[in-house]
Structure 1
C-alpha cells in the first residue's frame, strides 16, 4: 500500500475528523510546527546523558501527539471522545520538573550560551522551535476556540526545555570535571 494518497495534490489536507482545509491554514501551520518540535524533542531525548531526562522527554513526545491531534481536529468534541487529551495534570508535571531543576541547579545571573553540551544545544533548539510554534498557535487561537489548558501547556513547554537544557549542560560539566580530576589523579599515581 502506498503512503501517498494524492488527496493533497490541490493544496488541501484532511484533518483528524475528516474535514478538509488548506495546507497553509493557521491550524495546519500550528500542528505542523508542533510536529517539527516533536521531531526535535526525539533527537534531544537520544542525546541526553541523564536517563531521567530521557524518560521525561519520552513522556513529552507522547503528549505532543495528543496536542497535535486536538489542534488537527475541527470538531473538538469528536477528538475529546476518542483520544487522550492534555490536562491540568500535564501542566503540573511540567511545573514540577521546572521547579525541581531550578532548585537543584546553580543559579544563573546572566544570559547563557544556548548549550555547552550537544544535548543541551538540542534542547535549546527545542525551546526556540517551541516558542515559534507557540506564536503560530496564538495566531491560530485568534480564529478558533480551543480548550484554554492547551495554551497554558504550550506556554510552559519553552521554560521546560530551557531548564532541561541547563540540566544536561550541568551534567556534562560535572562529567568533564570528573574526567579531569581522574586524569590528574592517574598521572600522580603513575608518577
Structure 2
C-alpha cells in the first residue's frame, strides 16, 4: 500500500529524482521522461472522463489504473534483477494488452470502414480522446527510445501501442459510431 504523508521532500531540488529501485537520476533522463509522459497521458484521460459516461467512463477508469501500473513499471529498471527485490516490481502483463484488443474489437464492430483519415474532433469526448491518442503515441516513442538504451518491459511498449489504437477507435465510437467523424479531404484548400 502506498502511504503519502508528506508531499514535498526537497530531495529533487537539484534536478534529480529517485527511481523505483532507489537509484537517483536526472529528472530529464529518458526513463523519467517516459514515465512522466504516461502520467501526463493519465491526466488527459481524466479530462476525457469529464465527457464520458457508462461503459466508456468505466473503460477510461480501467485505463487510468493501467497507466499507474505502466508508470510503476517504467520507473523500475533492471528487468533481470526483479527476483532479487524485497518488493517485486509491478509489471505490465499481456492480459492488459489483450483486454484493450478485446475492447477495440467490440467498439470497431459498430463502425463503418474508413475511406480517409479522420480529423481530430467531432464531439467533445472524441476531441479529448484524440489528444489522448497523440500523447499515447508520444509515450510509446519515448518508451521505445528508452528501450534502445535500457531494459524496458516489452508488455509496456505493446500496451502503449495498443492504447493509442484504443483511443482512436473510442474517438470514433464517441462520434456517434463514426457518423460525426470529420474526414480529411486531401488538397481541399489548394
TM-score, normalised via structure 2 length = 0.83
Partner of 2:139: 133
Partner of 1:158: 164
The answer on 1:68 being equivalent to 2:71 is yes
Query: Which segments of structure 1 move beyond 4 Å, counting only runs of 4 or more?
Result: 78-81, 171-174
Deviation of 1:106 after TM superposition, in Å, equals: 2.1
Deviation of 1:17 after TM superposition, in Å, equals: 2.1
Partner of 2:148: 142
Partner of 1:111: 117
- SS of equivalent to 1:21: strand
Higher helix share: 1
Deviation of 1:81 after TM superposition, in Å, equals: 4.8
* Pick aligned residue for 1:55 from 28, 45, 58: 58
- SS of equivalent to 2:118: coil
Partner of 1:6: 10
Asked which structure has the greater CA Rg, the reply is 1
Deviation of 1:24 after TM superposition, in Å, equals: 0.8
Deviation of 1:13 after TM superposition, in Å, equals: 0.4
Contact 1:15–1:21 (Cα < 8 Å) also in 2? yes
Unaligned runs of 5+ in 1: 175-191
- SS of equivalent to 1:13: strand
Deviation of 1:151 after TM superposition, in Å, equals: 1.3
Name the CA distance, whole Å, in 1 between partners of 2:123 and 2:139: 24
* Pick aligned residue for 1:29 from 33, 46, 69: 33
Contact 1:114–1:121 (Cα < 8 Å) also in 2? yes
Deviation of 1:68 after TM superposition, in Å, equals: 0.4
Deviation of 1:89 after TM superposition, in Å, equals: 1.0
- SS of equivalent to 2:17: strand
Root-mean-square deviation (CA), in Å?
2.1
Name the CA distance, whole Å, in 2 between partners of 1:56 and 1:68: 18
